[in-house]
């Protein structure tokens, strides 16, 4: 996977010659995520850096790096070669299976529903599950509602999806939905997506507006349909040993900074939703807003039956009924 340093903090005490060496000691925390600096994950990482460095008076330095293989990042956090990642839940269910309920299509009615569930008892309960898998689920963040793009034709109804080769995340819940619709789901890491679209290995992909805009996917995809077929949560996951090495006061500062990061990230998602569709039209995409959502939901009935059986059916109903 490609990995490059997106931003390095300025050395805070570089110009303070009379400070003793121990006062200079700085602990570095590296946070990786899959998107450009100018994106909703970038906004979250920047807020984490700004707040945590300020609250710890520069004793910590946060470095933001880009790595567009989310499974790899979660693995690295688990084994401790990476401190933290902001990732979609795409690969997370393979580590903490309980999280898979959140990946069910058409589960959340709107953003308020999703944020309310994640910030409440259900979301916090799911974060608590990470510790038994060698991970710390620190805070829910947001990727956003996913929409379908493709290079072949406009999509209005489920029949339009039939036979389309669609790149999905490495997520069995999403893959089942696409195969139930008659598409040919092709799971791959985000790092492989653009070459796969260029070479015609896949016809389409699905991602939130902010991802499509920030990665210029309009250059490789002509049609965008506002399917909003699934909410895509994101999460800040850290290595538990790294957090355990902090003093309790610094850990509390880290949690405060994580909250600020989630707020900045969600605000940017909202901004992208408000402006992004017009921007993609300006860049030449053909945008379909008339989508037969009820028909998509009806076509997914066989998949919903499997989710009820294979995932936590009671939890799915609690999420659906949340007000």
Alpha carbon 221 to chain centroid distance? Answer: 21
| Closest approach of ligand PAF to the CB of residue 196, in Å | 12
Closest to 44 (Cα-Cα) out of 81, 12, 78, 6: 6
Q: Which is nearer to ligand PAF, 48 or 55 (CB)?
A: 48
| Closest approach of ligand PAF to the CB of residue 208, in Å | 7
| Closest approach of ligand PAF to the CB of residue 89, in Å | 9
Q: Which is nearer to ligand PAF, 158 or 208 (CB)?
A: 208
Q: Alpha-carbon distance 90 to 104, whole Å?
A: 11
Q: What are phi and psi of 162, to 5 degrees?
A: -60, 130
Secondary-structure percent of the chain, ordered helix, strand, coil, rounded to 5: 50, 20, 30
| Closest approach of ligand PAF to the CB of residue 314, in Å | 28
| Closest approach of ligand PAF to the CB of residue 90, in Å | 5
Q: Which is nearer to ligand PAF, 60 or 145 (CB)?
A: 145
Nearest-CB residue for ligand PAF: 88
Q: Which is nearer to ligand PAF, 41 or 307 (CB)?
A: 41
What token pair was written down for 154?
Answer: 């406009």
Three-state DSSP at 148 gives strand
| Closest approach of ligand PAF to the CB of residue 165, in Å | 15
Q: Which is nearer to ligand PAF, 55 or 118 (CB)?
A: 118
Q: Alpha-carbon distance 102 to 235, whole Å?
A: 12
Q: Rule CB under 6 A: which residues touch ligand PAF?
A: 34-35, 70, 88, 90, 143, 169, 190, 207, 211, 232
CB-based contact 5:63 (threshold 8 Å): yes
Q: Which is nearer to ligand PAF, 92 or 126 (CB)?
A: 92
Q: What are phi and psi of 28, to 5 degrees?
A: -100, 135
Closest to 86 (Cα-Cα) out of 77, 99, 98, 96: 77
């Amino acid at each position: 996977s490609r990995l490059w340093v997106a931003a390095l903090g300025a050395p805070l005490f570089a110009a303070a010659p009379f400070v003793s060496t121990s006062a200079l000691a700085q602990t570095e925390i590296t946070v990786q995520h899959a998107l450009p600096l100018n994106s909703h994950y970038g906004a979250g990482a920047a807020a984490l850096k700004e707040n945590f460095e300020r609250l710890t008076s520069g004793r910590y330095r946060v470095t933001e790096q880009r790595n567009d293989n989310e499974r790899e990042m979660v693995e690295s956090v688990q084994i401790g070669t990476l401190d933290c990642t902001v990732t979609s839940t795409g690969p997370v269910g393979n580590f903490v299976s309980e999280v898979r309920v959140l990946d069910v299509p058409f589960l959340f009615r709107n953003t308020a529903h999703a944020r309310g569930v994640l910030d409440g008892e259900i979301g916090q309960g799911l974060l608590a599950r990470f510790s038994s898998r060698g991970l710390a689920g620190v805070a829910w963040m947001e990727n956003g509602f996913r929409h379908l793009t493709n290079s072949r034709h406009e999509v209005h109804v489920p029949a339009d999806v039939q036979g389309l080769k669609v790149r999905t995340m490495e997520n069995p819940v999403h893959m089942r939905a696409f195969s139930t619709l008659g598409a040919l789901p092709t799971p791959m890491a985000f790092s492989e997506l653009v070459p796969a679209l260029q070479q015609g290995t896949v016809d389409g992909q699905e991602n939130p507006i902010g991802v499509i805009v920030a990665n210029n996917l309009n250059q490789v995809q002509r049609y965008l349909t506002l399917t909003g077929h699934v909410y895509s949560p994101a999460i800040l996951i850290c290595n538990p040993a790294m957090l355990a090495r902090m003093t309790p006061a610094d850990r509390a500062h880290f949690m405060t900074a994580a909250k600020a990061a989630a707020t900045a990230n969600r605000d940017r998602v909202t901004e992208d939703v408000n402006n992004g569709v017009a921007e993609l039209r300006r860049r030449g995409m053909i945008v379909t807003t008339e989508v037969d959502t009820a028909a998509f939901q009806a076509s997914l009935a066989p998949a919903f039956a499997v989710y009820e059986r294979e995932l936590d059916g009671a939890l799915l109903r609690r999420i659906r009924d949340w007000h």
